[in-house]
């Protein structure tokens, strides 16, 4: 290989995120020291963000097989069969660290990146959901991050023409320095037309199309996504990518036209690590080599070095392989859509990634060394000996009304000021909009329909990583049951602190164990996901936050129950298994109580049977409304059903405060309907009252709808 530049030192390798032992292993794999191009490529592909080196062994324990599975882990997105020759692709990913540094672009490009994962397998993006975590909204920093991140999500999704149909947002002190921005996307495609990423065909051209390449995002995967944040965040702003949703819109149409015409062998998006990741992963999947000439790459800045071109994370770019005979047609389609297609390399039989700058060879790495041989680490989990998280600051004084305090609290107040910034109906598929039902509902081609939900509760996982994660899965499945949807597959985003610390390793290990056990009990395969580690600031780690997204099948979208009471005289009933508890509840948080040492075990089989019963009752048309009892307990669920329907209810509830405000996520539902229909379709439910009036009356206590509505709008003060 020709000499290129001064050989970097081991100190430079460490500065790029490699350990000294990893640098020594790189030298061993190459049989020499790496040059700057090769070192940059290794530092990114061997980063936590790309290699999952602290989590991959755990992820292999998750169930990944299912009758309706079309694509599973290892591809850009997973996909499930929804009948009639159609498949729904879906995936969730994080953009936490970039968003903590530059929230607007960090959140916007998170949406753009997850959309590319969807159309990279040949599915048209049809929806986005988001799962967000910030510090308490009394913090100026948290309000800023919230405002700009929501604006970024809305800007990108609205501009590209993909509806944002649901999501969640929570406020907790441990997210103050390290917000979480998780984006989930769904796409629809013909099952027979979905494409994999493996490169194939020696001599086939490799074509880059989309935006030109610049310095934005250089080193993002290693500089941001695999490191703890600190007070020097501002210096990391150049590592945050800049998005252009209008360029992405053209990229979607170009990619789908190329695939529909049968012109491509494989397709891959350029996300973290840019060309380095996309090309080497295509080569690894196809067991081939790839040559790339960086001199051919269209640049936005003319003086970029070869290593910068290889690791740039500029957005809205795709890499494809086609046959020699189809190259001209591919470039013609790229020209039609004005996305600048350029042949930058070819597939080889060398099993090596070779990087050229014109005639000069500037990088030469075995594909297996770069992609497959990154060291995987065994964790050293150890439960913490002392509490990791301080008790929350009490905000509910003795004598305050618990219900009004809860529905006006940051975690339970209306999200209308957020979702009104999103277009939730573009594309004309949305049947149930945000805050109309517990899960979003979309109508697909051929009359099929799906329910979609995304959920997580970091505070409960912090109290008990195993049980808290089981609850997150059950909560997500319960949301689908409320609209009559049967789960088909699950995607996840595991947001944790530094896994090299034993207590964080314990959180991660127990959480993955809970995720696997819950999915096996429900018969739901994990189709793919994302891991985001090192989410820590100077004040400590975030709450361990596994976020799960599910897609479920509906038989009749017209029978998808809303969460609001609707008809005077309807019976109100509760269906549940197990008993609620005030431990780790929202009421406990408002009162400033510390996290408990563990949560009550869950009988998942009994919960699954309850979900089946509720889903069947919804599908039968017997239920007018169905709402799961989640944060804030039964009283909050009743208030939310009253507010959503604009009608009151009168109920009798025994058991005192635990019965009213205790929680058991995923294990209880508030339903309404004609009494005879309800008792026939859901005989396990207990009737507790009747719909009607202008107030919610629980026993001797009454709250007017006007007072409930006023309290519920507390979040609007953050959006003057």
Which of 95, 155, 627, 712 is catalytic? The answer is: 95
> d(Cα 686, Cα 719) in Å, to the nearest integer?
40
- In 47-195, the DSSP E strands lie at 69-71, 78-83, 86-94, 124-134, 164-171, 180-190
Is 54 labeled as catalytic in the residue annotation? Answer: no
- With 0-12 / 13-18 / 19 or more C-beta atoms within 10 angstroms meaning exposed / middle / buried, residue 67 is exposed
> d(Cα 623, Cα 625) in Å, to the nearest integer?
5
Here the tokens at position 270 are 């350029």
> d(Cα 478, Cα 667) in Å, to the nearest integer?
8
Do the beta carbons of residue 357 and residue 293 sit within 8 Å? Answer: yes
State whether residue 525 is helix, strand or coil. Answer: coil
> d(Cα 647, Cα 570) in Å, to the nearest integer?
11
Here the tokens at position 487 are 């789960």
Here the tokens at position 44 are 């990114």
Residue count (the chain): 720
Q: Delimit the domains of the chain by residue range.
A: 561-720
What's the pLDDT score for residue 87? 95
CA distances (Å), origin 443, targets 461, 477, 483, 485, 580: 34, 19, 13, 12, 35
Question: Helices (H), strands (E): how many in the chain?
Answer: 25, 28
- Residues of the chain short of pLDDT 50, as ranges, are 1-4, 220-238
What's the pLDDT score for residue 232? 43
State phi, psi for 137 to the nearest 5 degrees.
Answer: -70, -5
Interior angle at CA 380, CA 499 and CA 232, nearest 5: 25
CA torsion 233-236-238-239 (nearest 10°) is: -120
> d(Cα 580, Cα 560) in Å, to the nearest integer?
27
Please tell me the class of the 561-720 domain: alpha beta
Here the tokens at position 81 are 């069969």
Which of 49, 54, 97, 627 is catalytic? The answer is: 49
> d(Cα 619, Cα 441) in Å, to the nearest integer?
14
Kindly tell me the sign of the dihedral angle through the C-alpha atoms of 252, 257, 260, 262.
negative
Is 710 labeled as catalytic in the residue annotation? Answer: no
> d(Cα 475, Cα 629) in Å, to the nearest integer?
9
Do the beta carbons of residue 212 and residue 308 sit within 8 Å? Answer: no
In the DSSP assignment, the letter for residue 174 is G
> d(Cα 417, Cα 405) in Å, to the nearest integer?
19
> d(Cα 712, Cα 110) in Å, to the nearest integer?
30
Do the beta carbons of residue 83 and residue 446 sit within 8 Å? Answer: yes
Do the beta carbons of residue 637 and residue 628 sit within 8 Å? Answer: yes
State phi, psi for 487 to the nearest 5 degrees.
Answer: -60, 135
CA torsion 477-482-486-489 (nearest 10°) is: -30
Helix %, strand %, coil % of the chain (to 5):
40, 25, 40
> d(Cα 482, Cα 575) in Å, to the nearest integer?
12
Burial 221-256 (b: 16+ CB within 10 A, else e): bbbbbbbbbeeeeeebeebbbbbbbebbbbbbbbbb
CA nearest neighbour of 490 among 60, 72, 53, 54: 72
- With 0-12 / 13-18 / 19 or more C-beta atoms within 10 angstroms meaning exposed / middle / buried, residue 427 is middle
- In the block, which residue shows the tokens 């669920």? 637
| Per-residue model confidence as pLDDT tens digits over 16-59 | 889 999 999 999 999 999 999 999 999 999 998 889 999 999 99
């Amino acid at each position: 290989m020709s000499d290129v530049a001064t050989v970097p030192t081991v100190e430079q390798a460490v500065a790029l995120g490699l350990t000294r032992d990893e640098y020594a292993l790189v030298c061993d794999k190459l049989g020499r020291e790496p040059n700057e191009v090769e070192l940059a490529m290794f530092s990114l592909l061997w980063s936590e963000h790309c290699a999952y080196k602290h989590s991959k062994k755990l992820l292999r324990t998750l169930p990944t097989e299912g009758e309706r599975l079309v694509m599973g882990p290892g591809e850009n997105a997973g996909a499930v069969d929804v009948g009639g020759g159609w498949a729904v692709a879906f995936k969730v990913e994080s953009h936490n660290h970039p968003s903590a540094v530059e929230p607007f672009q960090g959140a916007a490009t998170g949406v753009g990146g997850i959309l590319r994962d969807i159309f990279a397998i040949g599915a048209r993006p049809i929806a986005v959901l988001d799962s967000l975590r910030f510090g308490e909204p009394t913090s100026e920093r948290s309000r800023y991050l919230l405002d700009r991140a929501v604006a970024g999500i809305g800007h990108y999704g609205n501009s590209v023409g993909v509806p944002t149909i649901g999501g969640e947002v929570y406020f907790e002190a441990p997210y103050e320095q390290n917000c979480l921005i998780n984006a989930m996307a769904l796409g629809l495609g013909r099952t027979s037309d979905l494409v994999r990423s493996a490169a194939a065909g020696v001599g086939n051209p490799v074509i880059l199309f989309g935006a030109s390449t610049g310095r934005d995002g250089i080193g993002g995967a290693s500089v941001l996504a695999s490191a703890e944040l600190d007070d020097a965040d501002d210096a990391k702003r150049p590592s945050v990518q800049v998005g252009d949703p209008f360029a992405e819109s053209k990229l979607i149409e170009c990619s789908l036209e190329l695939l529909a015409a049968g012109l491509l062998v494989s397709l891959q998006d350029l996300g973290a690590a840019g060309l380095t990741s996309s090309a080497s992963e295509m080569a690894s999947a196809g067991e081939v080599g790839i040559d790339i000439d960086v001199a051919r790459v269209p640049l936005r800045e003319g003086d970029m070095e070869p290593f910068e071109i290889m690791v740039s994370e500029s957005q809205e770019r795709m890499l494809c392989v086609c046959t020699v005979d189809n190259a001209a047609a591919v470039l013609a389609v790229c020209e039609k859509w004005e996305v600048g297609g350029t042949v930058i390399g070819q597939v080889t039989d060398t099993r090596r990634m070779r990087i050229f700058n014109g005639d000069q060879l500037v990088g030469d790495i075995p594909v297996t060394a770069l992609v497959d041989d990154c060291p995987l680490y065994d964790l050293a989990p150890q439960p913490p000996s002392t509490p990791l998280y301080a008790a929350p600051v009490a905000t509910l004084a003795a004598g305050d009304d618990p219900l009004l305090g809860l529905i006006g609290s940051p975690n339970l107040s209306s999200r209308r000021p957020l979702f009104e910034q999103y277009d939730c109906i573009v594309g004309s598929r949305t049947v149930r909009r945000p805050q109309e039902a517990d899960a979003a509902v979309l109508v697909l081609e051929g009359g099929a329909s799906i329910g979609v939900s995304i959920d997580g509760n970091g505070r409960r996982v912090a109290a008990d990583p195993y049980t808290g994660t089981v609850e997150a899965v059950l909560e997500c499945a319960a949301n689908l049951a409320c609209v009559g949807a049967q789960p088909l597959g699950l995607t996840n985003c595991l947001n944790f602190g530094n896994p090299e610390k034993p207590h964080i390793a314990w959180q991660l290990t127990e959480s993955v164990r809970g995720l696997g056990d819950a999915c096996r009990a429900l018969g739901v395969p994990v189709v793919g996901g994302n891991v985001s580690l090192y989410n820590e600031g100077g004040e400590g780690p975030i709450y361990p936050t596994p976020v799960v997204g599910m897609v479920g099948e509906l038989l009749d979208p017209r029978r998808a129950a809303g969460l609001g009471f609707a008809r005077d005289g309807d019976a109100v009933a509760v269906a549940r298994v197990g008993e609620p508890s005030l431990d780790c509840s929202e009421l406990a948080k408002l009162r400033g109580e510390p996290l408990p040492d563990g949560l009550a075990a869950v009988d998942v089989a009994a919960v699954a049977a309850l979900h089946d019963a509720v889903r069947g009752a919804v599908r039968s048309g017997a239920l007018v409304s169905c709402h799961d009892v989640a944060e804030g307990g039964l009283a909050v669920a009743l208030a939310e059903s009253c507010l959503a329907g604009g009608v009151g209810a009168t109920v009798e509830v025994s058991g005192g405060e635990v019965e009213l405000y205790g929680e058991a996520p995923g294990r209880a539902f508030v339903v309404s309907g004609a009494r005879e229909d309800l008792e026939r379709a859901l005989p396990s439910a207990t009737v507790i009252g009747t719909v009607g009036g202008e107030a919610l009356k629980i026993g001797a206590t009454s709250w007017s709808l006007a007072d409930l509505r006023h309290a519920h709008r507390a979040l609007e003060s953050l959006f003057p």
